[in-house]
Amino acid sequence: MRFTTGTAMYIYTGVTEGHEVRKKRTGMDTLITLQPMHHRGQESIALHYKSDPALNRQVRMLPKAKWSQSNKCWYVPLSEESYKHIVKALKEKGALDTTALKAYLEKKKKVTAILPVAAKNTLVKPVSISAAWKLSQENLQALEKFVEQLKLKAYSPSTIKTYRNEFMQLLQLLNNKPVNELKPDDLRRYMVYAMEKEGIKENTAHSRLNALKFYFEQVLHREKFFWEIPRPKKRIILPKVMGESELKRLFNAHKNKKHKAILFTAYSAGLRVSEVVNLKLNHIDRSRMQLLIKDAKGKKDRYVMLSPVLLDILTNYYKTTEPRPSKYLFEGPVPGTPYSASSMQRVFQLARKQAGISKQVSFHSLRHSFATHLLEKGIDIKYIKDLLGHFDIKTTTRYLHVKKEQLISIESPLDALISKDEI
């Protein structure tokens, strides 16, 4: 029996023949069934057998053995070590039935292959392996084909994780009902359920519909019936922008040169956190005063300006930091590997608190602020679109709404007509 836990694989032997055959072969009447069990958030091996005082004493002596009152059984952690202790202690006490455990481990191996551990730089929450293994075999195969097709279509790792997570929400709800049997009306009702009962927002609803559309149209090659399911109208959410005085306080909050350089880099060219993470030393073009943003969102490369001020900041950072970065502009604890996106988010939030900025802004607000400030300085929105790497100018026009907030500083003619003394 193959036993997979984490990234390691172990080979075990187990008794799998029927009880009567086993009884004749071993002369043992006691059957000890080993079953997988999720208990208190941990994977465990549950031991089920007909109660016997001598056997109870032996099981209690197993390392880390505990009694589950709710499941009415003894259990140990699901691990190579625990399994070996069970075999050594109980092989002479009864016949071990590992059929259920074997099936679980084989399924877990497949699930782990479909749902690899999320990369450190991703901001997308990974799917729970414990949730995926509960899927029916048919729906697990559907998930496997879904991920395979996304990879064949060369979708980005971030999009694959997002679509996979959204598809999983439906599969978990279906239990044993095959996803392939669903009709347009079923999916319509499901989306109503997701919005009313799960409370998903408009953007999440669009992502979930995109994932379902991909499965039924790209994997199953069904007719394009998703036009029958209306998409919720997205809310117009204005980007959160910081003023120039707030930005100065933010930049001065950190004494660490690396942290300051990260914040300056993001604002200077309106970069996403993932773009700052993936900047390499050879992406800095001093002769043309440009930064190459490679493999950005939508698999687009683009050039952005390299501010002379930023170049001075980066040069000072590079010359004084130890150890010096060897590949990426900002490296993590392991030389040659990038600083993580989550660490950059923490750098920003720490600076925000130290700068006394109560506004609920994030690292991405540096990008919003860059675009808005350019617009306020009279830069054509078409150029801003290219600098930000937007596919559609409609995405960039959000910043026009932010700029309109300046209307509140225009004096109303009522103020000129009637003074405060006349009120």
CA distance linking residue 138 with residue 176, whole number of Å: 8
What DSSP line would sit under 331-351, residue for residue? B-SSTTSBPPHHHHHHHHHHH
- Our separate counts of H helices and E strands in the chain read 19, 10
Give me 50's structure tokens: 């007909």
The phi, psi pair for 197, rounded to 5°, reads: -90, -45
Task: Supply the pLDDT for residue 326.
Answer: 93
Task: Supply the pLDDT for residue 237.
Answer: 67
Task: Supply the pLDDT for residue 292.
Answer: 93
**pLDDT tens for each residue of the chain, 423 residues long:** 555 444 333 334 444 444 444 444 444 568 999 999 988 878 899 999 998 898 999 999 999 999 999 999 999 999 999 999 999 999 888 899 999 999 888 877 777 777 654 333 333 344 555 566 678 889 988 998 999 999 999 888 888 889 998 999 999 899 889 999 998 889 989 998 998 888 888 888 889 999 999 999 999 998 776 656 666 666 666 778 898 899 999 999 988 999 999 999 999 989 999 999 999 999 999 999 999 999 887 778 888 989 899 999 999 999 999 899 999 999 999 999 999 999 999 999 999 999 999 989 999 999 998 888 888 888 877 877 878 877 766 766 766 666 655 555 545 565 555 555 655
Q: Report pTM.
A: 0.59
- Domains of the chain (ranges; CATH) run 2-105 (3.30.780), 115-228 (1.10.150.130), 244-406 (1.10.443.10)
Active site residues: 272, 297, 364, 367, 390, 399
| Nearest by Cα to 370 from 413, 307, 296 | 307
Task: Supply the pLDDT for residue 135.
Answer: 82
- Angle at which helix 184-196 crosses helix 157-174, to 10 degrees, equals 100
